[in-house]
Amino acid sequence: MNAPAAAARDHAASGMDPVALIRFIAGLKDERTRHPFTASVRHVGQDGESAHYRLEMWVDGASAACQSVDGGFSMRYTPATRVLRIQEGPGRVHEESDRAYPAGFPPLAMANPLHLPIWGGPSNSGTPASITRISRTRFEVLVNAPEDGGAPQRVGRALIDTELMAALEFDWFGSRYLLEEPRRLVMPQWDTLLG
């Protein structure tokens, strides 16, 4: 059985089918990502250490960037060219070509919730255990993953806002990511301005 069908079967009692939420988000994505998005992401690790990042997603997802506030780390992904550029300090730059969206780095994936590692499938370690509609535009996704080959255990939670098209909160294996000061910058419709 394929992953979406298994997820739908296993989670039918949760109130919302994960495949339905994925399709809903994907359907809104083009509309919601036409305008640039900026935010800060605060990460608190299992050990209590914290890090802050500045997040930017440009028009139509043309590029996504995340930079630590202290300036020591930055990551930029360009979907059109599938190039990922990582800078880990002065003079330490690494580029990867033909790369998929870097879902393994949650601060960057928060601006594109379909790339969070929570939807099941071969490249995701988690699958939705339940989905609850919190408000008209917010959904809470509780996530399970098998632990040491055993039964699935709760490993995460995401609070997704479909108006901002971003994850506001993401808890993952004891780490917590919080989106702060999110802004969707509305660009003018040039065809209506120019007549």
Taking only the tens of pLDDT, the chain with its 195 residues reads 344 433 443 443 346 777 888 877 776 666 555 678 899 999 999 999 999 999 988 765 578 889 999 878 999 998 888 899 999 988 899 999 998 888 778 998 898 888 888 888 766 678 899 999 999 989 999 999 877 777 888 899 999 998 888 899 999 999 999 999 998 776 555 454 454
At 93, which CATH number?
2.50.20
Using CA atoms, how far apart are residues 138 and 32, in angstroms rounded to an integer? 14
Residue 114, in any domain of the structure: yes
Res 14: pLDDT: 46
Residue 195, in any domain of the structure: no
Res 188: pLDDT: 56
Residue 94, in any domain of the structure: yes
Residue 127, in any domain of the structure: yes
The two beta strands, 152-161 and 127-133, are unpaired
Residue 187, in any domain of the structure: no
Res 29: pLDDT: 63
Residue range of the domain that includes 129 = 3-181
Residue 192, in any domain of the structure: no
**E strand or H helix at 9:** helix 3-10
How is residue 155 written in tokens?
């490993």
Longest pairwise C-alpha distance within the chain = 63
Residue 150, in any domain of the structure: yes
Q: Domain count of the chain?
A: 1
